[in-house]
Structures are given as structure tokens and as C-alpha cells.
Chain A
Amino acid sequence: MNNLTRRGFLGLAGAAGVTGLSACAGTGTSATSDKGGSSNTIEFWSNHPGNSKPVEQQIIQAFQKENPGLTVKLVDAGKNYEEVAQKLNAALVGGQLPDLVVVSDVTWFNFALNKQLAPMDDLLSSAKVDTSDYVDALFNDYKYADGHFALPYARSTPLFYYNKELWSKAGLEDRGPKDWDEFKQWSDALKAAVGSGKHAMELADGSNYLDWYFQNMVWDFGGAYSKEWTPTFSDPNTVKAGQYLQDLAKNGVVKFNATPEADFSAGLAGCILQSTGSLGGISKDAKFEVGTAFLPGTDNCPTGGAGVGIPAKISDERKANAVKFAEFLTNAKNTVTFTQATGYMPVRKSAVDTAEEKAYLEKNPNAKTAIDQLPHTRSQDNARVLLPGGGARIGKALDQVAQGQDVTSVFAGLDKESQQVFDNQIKSKL
């Protein structure tokens, strides 16, 4: 009896061990092509940029009404763009891909480079979508090797936000600075007007996209992060911009902070550079009159935000449905609905001519600033958006510059690192 249970137990233990091992060893065997997924259901993975879930649901309902045979399943795919990318990565290995997925300006390229996103151009032309109506700068942000890999969806640009009360107290004209030189001339008056314990300007720190806002500063000084794939951080003009940023910090004009928009709304900062996506929130939070202006400089405002892409390994039928929905999601009417609810930019040229948008802009002059700035935007440098880890790398270096480290040597280090990343991870795949 005792012997029997003992043997039985050993057998069980062995079986348990085997199942345990098999559980560890499960990797995707069907990862090469995703045959699953219903062709009538479009699975849309979104992080609902700018708290847009209700709007997305509203657009989906309108789509289903127009296309009775199709259903759209909205999936909560993460709290930010990085989490969506993480979830997509898991699905690319493990199977069960979505039909349409939100990809941000820094996450799309890696998927496109590894042929995990489908080129949209053929799909768009067979669906008879007029791509010339998309705002050129926004559409071409997703261009790589003669193909477009996403459609612009929740797109933003930085804006110059300023406290109008403070501006009049400092005796400044009611407008943003023409360029960064002019801002420097203003900084003494602003510093005096804002008072002690507060700051004339606050900027996001390196882990909160300072590298995005600084792109504008670099361009204004005639520098760049890179020319095509060649990093140009050591370019004298780029270094000059870095020096300018360091001087602002040294002179106590600028403070770096994880959430400058919060301090600005509380009246602790005179002006900030922030995404257009923050406009709604700032207008609600601030107890003073908020002004908005173009970023300093001419035609050097970076674009940002996210688009929607289609995974490469789903069936052609699913791709055709996905592109149909992607077009609907970003058509003139819906881009107006979406952007008015969130603060993003309309992605269609014809959107500004619709009656709803005209009425809206008349009522919201600050939103109009953002749209007027759109023709003056410029696609970002490869070293930030296309090199893996580019944004974080530049952000970290800018933190060091802000803390007073030697600009030339920090930027030389960036040059070297960026070149290495390019040589190791990108060069062979181009």
C-alpha cells in the first residue's frame, strides 16, 4: 500500500515535471503567417490618445452603420504608445494580430523596417483613397523606401503657451517670440515680472520628450540631429543650440520638470512648450488667460503623435477591410470630430473647410494657432524618430547639458552612439 502510493506519487511528479517543461517551451509555431481572425471583424488596437475612447466608439458606430457586414472591435491596447508597441510585439511573435494598430512617430519605423507593417500605398489605391488630401507633412512622416506605412491619425505639434497676464506685466507685446534670440532679450523682463520661486519658462525634462521640443531650438539655430542617416550633433550650429539651452538653465530662466503643463496652469511658469494635445487640459486648469503662439523661428516646428498601421502578416481580405476603416477613421468629417474632442490636428486638408471646423475655430482662437502652424511644420530628424532608442538617448544627453556638463563633449558622445546604433541595427536592413 505504502509502496504503491509512493510509486504513484513518483509517476505523478514526473508527469507534472513534463507538463511544467512543456509550458516553458511554448514558442510560436504559427508566427510566420496569421491565418486566424475573422474577415468580417476588424480588430482595432488603440491606446485612445487624448482620452478619446468615447469618440473612437462613436466613429466605429458610424462606420458599422455604413458597412453593415463589418464589425469593429476596439481593444484597449495600453496606456501609452510604448505599451501598444509592446503588445504588438508580443502578438507578432505569438499570433493573433490586430487588423489596425496605433503606432507613434517613434515606434512605427522599427515595425516597418522589419517588414511587420504592410506598405499602405497599394491598399490605398485599390480602395480608391485620395491620399493628396492628407496634410503632406503628416502623411510623409510615415514614408520609408518608396512606401507609406501608416496613415496619420492622432497628430500633434508643440505649441508655445504663455500667460497673458504675465506678458502684460512684463510689458511685452501679446505674441510669442519671433525666434530664440528674441526670447533671450525678453527673458530678463519675464524673470523680473514672474517673481521669485517661479520661472519665466519651464520645459519638460529629458524623460518627458525634451528631445522633441529641443528639435525646434536646434533647427532655429541652423543645426540638426542628423542629415538623413548621418548624425550631426557635433555640427557647430547644433552645439550652439545646446549652449543656448544650457545658458537658459544657468541663468535661472528655465526650469526642467516632468510636468511643466501643471506648473504653468498653476501660474508657476510664465510660458512652456507643450503638445497641442494639452490645450484642452490647460484651458480647463488655468485660472488666467492662456495665449498660444507658433514655436519660435520660421518653418521649424516638429510634428509628432501617432498614426494607424496595418500588420503585414494578415490576409489580404483583412487588409482591405482594415484600410477601409482606417480611411473612414481619418476622413475629413471624423478627423474633425476626433480633433475637436482631443486637441489633436486635423489630418486632412479639406477638414478646415467644413462648417463645423470653421465654427469651432472661430470660438477657439488658441486651437486656430495650432492649425495655422501646420503648414510650417517639418518632419523630424532620423536620429530622433527612426533610430531605435533615439528619443531617450537625446533626452538623456540634454539632461546632462541642462545640468551643466560640457556641451561639445556630450554631443560628440551622442554622435558616436547614434552612429553605432545605425551601423549595428539599421544599415544592413536598408
Chain B
Amino acid sequence: MSGLAHGAEAASHRSRGMTVAGYVAMVLVLLVVAVPLFWIVITSLKERQDIYVRPAQWFPQPGTTANYHDVTTRIPFLDYFRNSLVITLVLSASKIVLGVISAYALSLLRFPGRGLVFLVVIAALMVPNQITVISNYALVAQLGWRNTFQGIIVPLAGVAFGTFLMRNQFLSLPGEIIEAARLDGAGPLKLLWRVVLPMSWPTLVAFSLITVVNEWNEYLWPFLMSDDERTAPLPVGLTLLQNNDGVTNWGPVMAGTVLAMLPVLVLFLVLQRQMIKGLTAGAVKS
């Protein structure tokens, strides 16, 4: 009896210990993630002389919004913002569409050479971006596409990663449902829209989110292609705030970073709920 009570006590001890440890770990992770973000935000609100001081200022005193004004006046911020939007939207849309339909073909349609095509796609995934940059540059420059949106977007629109991810998701769907839908007379497109996609919602949302964030932050290729604020996206534009030989005034750089972060942050918050919703949708009787 006493042994049993002792055991239960120990168990509850352990679980309480585990809970505490869990919370400590959570707080630690939160700090690791949140402190740099917090530092960016408050630095963007500081006056120049208060940025490099010891002891560090954890709250801007006095606070100022001059840095935000600086960002929007010293560089054509809105132009860069517009370019970022155009590039990200078009690229993400085409990547998602291409990824879904190619994955659909490679997983649920039967045709000769399917395995080989998939192998080629996977091989493309292994080639780092940096290697194809020069030959892509040559091609795009010959087309006269430098400093144009199509020059930035078209070479980036290939989607080995999306194809790979979505194909594996589609293959994991229960074959019975697909067969049932086919027996009910669903054509390939209807099958995709009404059956396959609704069941793959969480993966699709995750893939879309990764794509959008990647395109939003894309640096190397847009930098090589663009000449000025007519096509350059935000990551390229913001570098103009840094002093490349001398002392950078970090206030405006941080303000620009905050402004560039916001759209992605909002998207995250919105889509996060979609991801959870997707997990509970659809049901299978086996």
C-alpha cells in the first residue's frame, strides 16, 4: 500500500518535474526566438547615438520614429515593396500550380517513363541554385530580359521541391478513395479538385508558406538581374541602407527589416489556422 502510494507520488513528482522542465524549455525557446526580434524592433525605434551603448538600452529612450521616415525617404521603399509583391505573388502562384499538377501526374496518372521523369525531377533538386546562375544569366541576357520581371521570375519558377513534396503526399492518400471516385466517374481534373486536394490541404498550405517565404527573401538571382528600383525586390533594396565602407547607421536598416517582415508575419498568422483546420477535414472508413 505504502509502496503503491510512494510509487504514485514519485510518478506525480516526475510528471510535475517534467512539466516544469517542459515550461523551462518552452521559455528558453521563446527567448531564443523572441529576443532577436525584439531587439530589431526596439533598435528601429532608437536614436542613432543610443544604438551602440553599454549598458544596452532595452527600451528606447527617447523613442523615435525617425528611422521609419528615413527608410521611406532615403530609398524608394514603396517601389521595392511593390516589386517584392509582384515577384512573390506570381512566383508562388506558378510554383504552387506547377508543383501540384506535376505531382498529380507523377503519382496518380499512369504512363510509361513515370519513374524516370520523377528521377530527373529529383536530380534537379540536387543541383544547387548557385551552379545554374551563370548559364541562366546568359540565357536571360540573350533574351533581353535583364532588369525585367519575367527575367527574374521565369528562371526561378521551376519546382523540383514542390513536385517531390506533393507527390509523396498524394501517394500517401488511401487508394480506396481514389478508386471510388474514379468508379463514380470523376475525370482527372475533378479527381484532383474534389478529392485529392481537399485531403492534402495541410501539406499544400505548408508548401505554399515555405514557397512564399523563400520567394520573399530571394536575394542572389534578383540581385543579378535587376539594375534599379524598377524591378529590384526588398532584400536587394534594403542593402542600400547599409554603408559598405564605413559605419552603418543601424536604425533605418532595422526599421526596413521590420517593414519587410510584416507581410510574411501576417501571412503566417492567417495560414496557421488553415493548417490546423486541414488536419481534421476528410475522413476515411476502413
Contact = CB atoms under 8 A, between A and B. Distances in A.
Chains A and B come from one and the same complex = yes
Contacts of B112: 10
Of the candidates A48, A96, A281, the one having the most CB atoms from chain B within 10 angstroms of its own CB is: A96
Contacts of A27: 134-135, 138-139
Contacts of A156: 245
Contacts of B8: none
B58 interface: no
Contacts of B172: none
B64 interface: no
Contacts of A17: 117, 120
B117 A13 contact: yes
Given A10-B111, A50-B246, A281-B243, A76 B236 contact: yes
B161 interface: no
B137 interface: yes
A281 B139 contact: no
Interface in B46-95: 48-49, 51-54
Given A49-B245, A87-B223, A90-B133, A284 B48 contact: yes
Interface residues of B, number: 44
Interface in A70-106: 73-76, 78-81, 83, 86-87, 89-91, 93-96
Contacts of B53: 266
Given A73-B227, A83-B223, A95-B141, A275 B48 contact: no
A24 B109 CA distance: 26
Contacts of B117: 13, 17
B46 to A, nearest CB: 12
A287 interface: yes
Interface residues of A, number: 61
A53 interface: yes
Interface string B138-177: 1111100010000000010010000000000000000000
Contacts of B214: none
B240 A48 contact: yes
15 contacts: A26-B135, A27-B139, A49-B245, A50-B244, A78-B239, A79-B242, A93-B137, A95-B138, A261-B247, A262-B52, A265-B52, A266-B54, A267-B54, A277-B245, A279-B246
Interface of A: 6, 9-10, 13, 17, 20, 23-31, 47-51, 53, 73-76, 78-81, 83, 86-87, 89-91, 93-96, 154, 156, 261-263, 265-268, 275, 277-282, 284-285, 287, 305, 342-343
Interface of B: 48-49, 51-54, 105, 109, 111-112, 117, 120, 132-142, 146, 155, 158, 223-224, 226-229, 232, 236, 239-240, 242-249
Given A262-B247, A265-B247, A268-B54, 18 more contacts: A6-B111, A13-B105, A26-B135, A28-B141, A30-B142, A49-B245, A51-B246, A76-B226, A78-B239, A80-B244, A91-B137, A94-B138, A96-B141, A275-B245, A277-B246, A281-B248, A284-B247, A285-B52
